[in-house]
Amino acid sequence: MIHIYCTECPNECYLSITDHAGRLDIAGYKCQNGLKFAQEEVTCPKRILTSTVLYKDGDAVKLLPVRTDKAVPLSRYEELMGIINKICVDYKIVRGAIIVEKIAGLEANLISSTTALKV
């Protein structure tokens, strides 16, 4: 049995999930978002991925914080970090700018978490 708090809405329901040979028994949810969250958390957990990429500022190399704009499967983190670790941007970046569109073929974009201005 797994016990987790749902983070999909302000209710923060305490969910109990039992797997009966592939059939999930979910208790404690107050809305359909909670039910979907529990099913996804057991079958394919997802999170927002946060990291940094290199940013050229003149002759200096700095770090630019980035994140995915949607949750991505935890099982793909290693692959995604391999892509992210190779990125180096050298132009003006504003907060929310897309760094990589549909990273690794997922529906999530890698976006800037802050503004960085080239000197």
Q: What is the pLDDT of residues 77-117, one digit of tens each?
A: 999 999 999 999 977 889 999 999 999 999 999 999 998 76
CATH classification code of 50-112: 3.10.530.10
Rounded to an integer, what distance in angstroms lies between the CA atom of residue 24 and that of residue 58?
Answer: 55
Q: Which of 12-21, 23-32, 77-86, 92-101 has the highest mean pLDDT?
A: 77-86
**Longest Cα pair distance anywhere in the chain, in angstroms?**
59
Q: What pLDDT score was predicted for residue 117?
A: 67
In the chain, what percentage of residues exceed pLDDT 90? 71
Helix (H) or strand (E) holding 12: none
Record the pTM. Answer: 0.81
Rounded to an integer, what distance in angstroms lies between the CA atom of residue 119 and that of residue 110?
Answer: 23
> CB–CB of 3/18 below 8 Å?
no
Where in the chain are all domains bearing CATH 3.10.530.10?
50-112
28: left (phi over 0), alpha (psi -120 to 50) or beta: left
Nearest to 65 by CA among 108, 106, 119, 116: 116
> CB–CB of 17/26 below 8 Å?
yes
In three-state secondary structure terms, 26 is strand
Q: What pLDDT score was predicted for residue 112?
A: 95
